[in-house]
Amino acid sequence: MKQAFLWILTGFLALTGFAAGQSPEMQNFDLSQISRWRPNNTFSKVEGTVLTTEVPEGSHTAQNWMEYEIDLTPYRSNVLTLAVKYRSFQVSRPPEDYNGIKFMLKFRPTPESSFTYPAVVQLYGTSDGWQWASFGAVIPKTATTGTLVMGLQNSHGKVQFDLATLRFGSLFSAADRVNLDWQVKYPERIANHRRQRGVMAPETIRYEHLKTLSDWNVNLVRAQLVRNWGAVGTETDLAEYDRWLNGKLDDLEKALEWAKEFGIKFVIDLHCLPGGRNTAGSMRMFSEEKYGDHFIEVWKRISRRFRNHPQIYAYNLVNEPLQFLPAPAGYDYWNLQRRAAEAIRKIDAETPIMIESNIADKAETYVYLSPLAMHNIIYKVHMYVPGAFTHQRLQGEGPVVTYPGMIEGEMWNKERIRKELQPVLEFQKRHNCKIYVGEFSAIRWAPGAERYLEDCISIFEEYGWDWTYHAFREWNGWSVEHTENPQDNEPAQTDTARKKVLLKYFKRNQR
Structural Rg of the chain based on CA atoms: 23
**What does the pLDDT read at residue 56?**
95
- Residue 453 dihedral angles phi and psi, to the nearest 5°: -65, -45
The pairing of strands 405-407 and 377-383 is unpaired
pLDDT average per 10 residues of sequence, the chain (511 residues): 31 31 58 94 95 90 90 69 91 90 91 83 91 76 90 96 87 86 97 96 97 98 95 94 98 98 98 90 92 98 97 98 87 97 98 95 92 98 95 88 91 97 97 98 98 98 98 97 96 97 97 78
Identify whether the C-beta of residue 306 lies closer than 8 Å to the C-beta of residue 154: no
**What does the pLDDT read at residue 283?**
94
HSE of 8, CA atoms in CB hemisphere, 13 A: 30
Enumerate residues 6+ apart whose C-beta is below 8 A from 214. 262, 263, 264, 511
**What does the pLDDT read at residue 471?**
98
Angle at Cα 20 formed by Cα 18 and Cα 25, nearest 5°?
Answer: 100
| Closest of 37, 13, 36 to residue 26, by C-alpha | 13
Task: Provide the sign of the torsion angle of the four alpha carbons 303, 304, 305, 311, taken in this order.
Answer: positive
**What does the pLDDT read at residue 273?**
98
Q: By three-state DSSP, how is residue 15 classified?
A: coil
**Can you name the residues that pair with 223 across neighbouring β-strands?**
268
134-to-102, 252, 278, 280, 322 alpha-carbon distances in Å: 11, 35, 10, 5, 11
What does the alpha-carbon distance between residue 59 and residue 385 come to, in Å, rounded to a whole number?
Answer: 39
Entry pTM: 0.84
Q: Could you tell me where the DSSP H helices lie in 346-464? A: 358-361, 387-390, 414-431, 449-463
What does the alpha-carbon distance between residue 501 and residue 495 come to, in Å, rounded to a whole number?
Answer: 10
**What does the pLDDT read at residue 22?**
30
